[in-house]
Amino acid sequence: MAQFSVEDGVKPAFSAPIFSFIQLGRRMLQDIDAFPSSSRALAGRTVLQIVPDLQSGGAERAAIDIAQALHEAGARALVATTGGRMVSELQAKGGVWLPFPAATKNPLAMALNSARLARILREEGVDIVHARSRACAWIAYYAARRMGARFVTTYHSVYGGTSAIKQRYNSIMAAGDAVIANSQFTASHIAELYPAAAERVVVIARGIDLRAFSPAAVEPQRVERARAAWGVAPHQRVALLPARLAARKGHLVLIEAARRLVAEGLADVRFVCVGDAPNAGFRQSLAAQIARAELADVVLTPGYWSDMPAAYLAAAVAVAPSTTPEAFGRVAVEAQALGAPVIVSDIGAALETVLAPPQAPAREATGWRVPAGDAAALAQAIRAALELRPSERDALTARARRHVQAHFSIERMCAATLDVYARLLAGGAR
């Protein structure tokens, strides 16, 4: 596993020769259970996470989960962020919200915020700063170096851009004393672009709370409330796409798949797309596409929905038809945990989160993988999921939940992350 170099030579730009991918794979494939216990090492320490906001999303959810784990380990868990609907949950779980303009990407404001953050690190006695986005990482990098704090980054996404300026901007995410990749796919991407960071990369898959994402934990009334809020009739089945409304999440592909299925006579299914709409322009184009396909009563976009366990239980099938590679893909893991048959695009980290042929035999499959952007293949997979016999569905969901329990629990993620922190602190003062 990674050695977590904390030498002064770490910089947010990289030029070393490419590391052997065989060596990288060997390091990354070591079991995270090899990490030592970290609770005693972190007691009394202060860790500050910085994230743009706490509205919704995987990075935001991870920040709250780690804050809770730090609190339970006896550490102070600070989160610097502009705020959002998840702040109350952070505070309820032992985290401390530090109102901070972390979402800004204005260069001058970022420079001023770095100085401001450095003062916070000094006043609060922060030992580790953990950045979960690029703009936040640039702010935190220089503040941490100035104050002698350890610096950690998490690659939550495969950042786009091929220009030299964009690559330079993205490179900060590989500048951590420890660089957490949320999948093997992400780790390989980091190694290819920033080979000098390979020795500092550790793979920690995103984890979910299997107690909350359990069919036994969800009362029927919660499922009924979700269906009623979406406008789904009792006799109608739901094909669920839970993701913020964005072109790369595959909403347009789902609309075309829905059009094909309706044309084939499928009449009792509603395609429900729950999620925020940060881009008003895309929401308008999505509505126009639904109207052109004459699916206004079939494809529903009810907006953000907070009770995701109930949403998955309300679904006959969950889909994540991303058109660009996902660095992890939380939807697939959550859906499998709740027993909703899941269909994902055959790109990115989907090969790790959903088992399917040809990488796994059909008897071990936990869902379906289809070519990205292929509406016909998506429609075929949706039909296959809806036509499962009860015994086939039960077997599939049992395999899927075992897969999630083995690899994607929140306990596993938190233990591995806290052990990264402990190893950095064991390296001594800067």
How far from 133 is each of 73, 81, 148, 385, CA to CA, in Å?
25, 11, 21, 36
Write the DSSP string, 228-250.
HHHT--TT-EEEEEES-S-GGGT
Q: Would you mind telling me the total number of residues written for the chain in this entry?
A: 430
pLDDT for 427 equals 84
Residues 412-423, mean pLDDT to the nearest whole number: 96
Backbone φ and ψ for 209, nearest 5 degrees, come out as: -80, 100
Q: For the chain, what is the mean pLDDT?
A: 89
For the beta carbon of residue 93, count every other beta carbon within 10 angstroms: 16
Strand partners, 46: 76
Residues 182-193, mean pLDDT to the nearest whole number: 93
Share of the chain above pLDDT 90, in %: 80
Domain 215-407 has CATH 3.30.70.890: no
Between β-strands 269-274 and 299-303, what pairing exists: parallel, antiparallel or unpaired?
Answer: parallel
CATH code, residues 21-207+410-426? 3.40.50.2000
pTM confidence score: 0.82
pLDDT band of residue 405 (cuts 50, 70, 90) is very high
Q: Per residue in 270-303, is it b (16+ CB within 10 Å) or e — as a string?
A: bbbbbbbbeeeebbeebeebbeebebeebbbbee
To 5 degrees, how large is the angle CA 231–CA 236–CA 299? 55
Residue 72 in this model has a pLDDT that exceeds 50 = yes
Distance CA 207, CA 193 (A): 26
Strand partners, 203: 181
Distance CA 340, CA 350 (A): 16
**Domains 21-207+410-426 and 215-407 are alike in CATH topology:** yes
Q: How confident is the model over 356-384, as pLDDT tens digits?
A: 998 899 999 999 999 999 999 999 999 99
The domain spans of the chain are 21-207+410-426, 215-407
Amino acid at 235: H
**Residue (of 200, 198, 203, 201) closest to 17 by Cα position:** 198
Question: At 40, is the secondary structure helix, strand, or coil?
Answer: helix
pLDDT for 4 equals 44
Q: Could you tell me the sign of the dihedral formed by the alpha carbons of 234, 238, 241, 247, in that order?
A: negative
Q: Could you tell me the sign of the dihedral formed by the alpha carbons of 56, 59, 65, 71, in that order?
A: negative
Distance CA 332, CA 389 (A): 21
pLDDT for 162 equals 72
Q: Which helix (H) or strand (E) holds 153?
A: strand 150-155
For the beta carbon of residue 378, count every other beta carbon within 10 angstroms: 28
